[in-house]
Amino acid sequence: MAKELKELTKRSVNYSEWYNQLVVKADLAEQSDVRGCMVIKPYGYAIWEKIQRVLDDKFKETGVVNAYFPLLIPKSFLSREAEHVEGFAKECAVVTHYRLKTNESHDGVVVDPAAKLEEELIIRPTSETIIWNTYRNWIKSYRDLPVLCNQWCNVMRWEMRTRLFLRTSEFLWQEGHTAHATREEAEERARLMLRVYADVVENYLAVPVVQGVKSETERFAGALDTYTIEAMMQDGKALQSGTSHFLGQNFGRAFDVQFLNRENRPEYAWATSWGVSTRLMGALIMTHSDDNGLVLPPALAPTQVVVIPIWKTDEQLAAINAKAQGVVDGLRARGLSVKYDNDGNKRPGFKFADYELKGVPVRLVMGARDLENGTVEVMRRDTLEKVTVGLDGIEAYVEGLLKDIQRNIFEKARAFRDAHVYECDDYEDFKRRVKDGGFFLCHWDGSAETEARIKEETQATIRCVPFGYEQTPGIDMVSGRPAKCRVIIARAY
């Protein structure tokens, strides 16, 4: 069954449209008929599962365990932490009834007014409240700490405008929630999880990120500090790809989670929370893909190698099948995920284009010519380069090639990012250039007024105070007041 495959919009013509078409045509996801929601198709979900597995293993290495908490949160829980409720109240879906009944004309159903809930339930926009309400019963002594739980789940935030993977009303994520006996331990945990995110995103998704800390206004609702990883997309816009929050004792206090410390004195537990979502899929797609379609990092590609035979007669096909089987087995023996596609309904040219669209890192082609010469044609997706190599030692060759692709796409993305990071000291210059994308390193006086003015006049926001950047004091380019450090300012998704 052939699929309709039209040419993609060029990245340079309309980046948003290109992205949207790519997600749909590469079979990753599609818009659902349900408002603001997304259907993740099997191919997209296979990639997400791989990301999940990598993250899960890394979490466990740091002592985190998985658990699950309810989807529905009593309304009163949400309002316990004042800043938290203010941050999320505007985008909550609310369950008000628990029953439907047949309508008067017996051709449909209506909400049964008699089934109104005494207290409304909120569909979780995030789970701090319900988890900390639970932790109250778990934590009595410093010996119970730390508690290091993660949950894989869906959350709902009633967004006004949605985009596949980047912003949908419902999305999949993991949220980790930890409780600690000391402030220092909690702060270190928040920073540790940020490092875990940066590791996974850079070394598996091959997406370079800037680690940093958010300004007060960009902080998570209820946090004392929000750490972030920021990636740059190919249009120069920033994508917040993961966050880790130091929550202080705010939730411990709000949910009365107290423990007796070594001195036998009651103390509120210290908290962190941290999450990454299916938005990572968006980062993956936008960072590497080109006008031919997706480019997947070998570490996450559901199919790493596709082998395509080209034949004219059944005898030829049989001969190629036999020869190719050896290659496929050899590659699989090395743990690679290989697809052999001898579907006679599709022509080779169609398959080439289709696997490129889907981002398969390496393609092997075997025809009558190769059969005679004992060779195979190898194409790498990242550069689209083709070479013909002998079958002898093909497994090691392909394995090396996959490693090289993984490294190359990361280096390419990092080079692009670095070429679009600018130090900027002049606000007029900034205003002219920021709309074309890029990360602008600018001195900031730390005031919310400056931040608000930049946002209003340029639609750019302070992404973070970057770590690992040599800071020197200077003058805020907007207010002219002294500034302790430079921050990254950019337009963002």
- Residue 300 CB, shortest distance to RNA, in Å, is 18
How many other CB atoms are found less than 10 A from the CB of residue 68?
A: 11
- Residue 256 CB, shortest distance to RNA, in Å, is 27
For every residue of 288-331, DSSP letters joined together read: H-BTTB----TTT-S-SEEEEE--SSHHHHHHHHHHHHHHHHHH
Q: Which is nearer to RNA, 133 or 241 (CB)?
A: 241
- Residue 3 CB, shortest distance to RNA, in Å, is 6
What is the token pair recorded at 46? 């296979």
Question: In 3D, which of 333, 335, 340 has the Cα closest to residue 355?
Answer: 340
Helix %, strand %, coil % of the chain (to 5): 35, 30, 35
- Residue 118 CB, shortest distance to RNA, in Å, is 26
Q: Which is nearer to RNA, 181 or 382 (CB)?
A: 382
Q: Which is nearer to RNA, 59 or 220 (CB)?
A: 220
List, in sequence order, every residue forming a beta bridge with 245; answer none if it has no partner. 226, 273
Spatial distance between the Cα atoms of 211 and 200, rounded to a whole number of angstroms: 13
Q: How open is the CA angle 149-150-151, to the nearest 5 degrees? A: 130
Q: Which is nearer to RNA, 363 or 443 (CB)?
A: 363
Cα distances from 107 to residues 103, 104, 110, 113, 125, in angstroms, run 7, 8, 10, 18, 34
Residues lying near RNA in the complex (CB under 7 A): 1-8, 16, 31, 35, 87, 90-91, 157, 159-162, 166-169, 171, 173, 220, 240-243, 275, 277-279, 292, 310-312, 344, 347-350, 352-354, 356-357, 365-371, 377, 379, 384, 386, 459
The secondary structure of residue 438, as a DSSP letter, is: -
Q: Which is nearer to RNA, 2 or 114 (CB)?
A: 2
- Residue 424 CB, shortest distance to RNA, in Å, is 22
- Residue 463 CB, shortest distance to RNA, in Å, is 10
- Residue 370 CB, shortest distance to RNA, in Å, is 4
Q: Which is nearer to RNA, 73 or 166 (CB)?
A: 166
- Residue 299 CB, shortest distance to RNA, in Å, is 22
- Beta-carbon-side half-sphere exposure of residue 24 (alpha carbons within 13 Å): 16
Q: Which is nearer to RNA, 353 or 421 (CB)?
A: 353
What letter represents residue 142's amino acid?
A: Y
Q: Which is nearer to RNA, 335 or 344 (CB)?
A: 344
- Beta-carbon-side half-sphere exposure of residue 124 (alpha carbons within 13 Å): 22
What is the token pair recorded at 370? 């190769």
Asked if residues 299 and 206 have their Cβ atoms less than 8 Å apart, the reply is yes
- Residue 187 CB, shortest distance to RNA, in Å, is 20
List, in sequence order, every residue forming a beta bridge with 331; answer none if it has no partner. none
- Residue 289 CB, shortest distance to RNA, in Å, is 13
Cα distances from 319 to residues 315, 346, 351, 377, in angstroms, run 6, 19, 20, 17
- Residue 131 CB, shortest distance to RNA, in Å, is 17
Q: Which is nearer to RNA, 25 or 443 (CB)?
A: 25
List, in sequence order, every residue forming a beta bridge with 231; answer none if it has no partner. 209, 239
Give the containing element (helix H, strand E) for 120. strand 116-123
Q: Which is nearer to RNA, 35 or 265 (CB)?
A: 35
Q: Which is nearer to RNA, 146 or 176 (CB)?
A: 176
Cα distances from 293 to residues 26, 47, 306, 365, 410, in angstroms, run 7, 16, 16, 20, 17
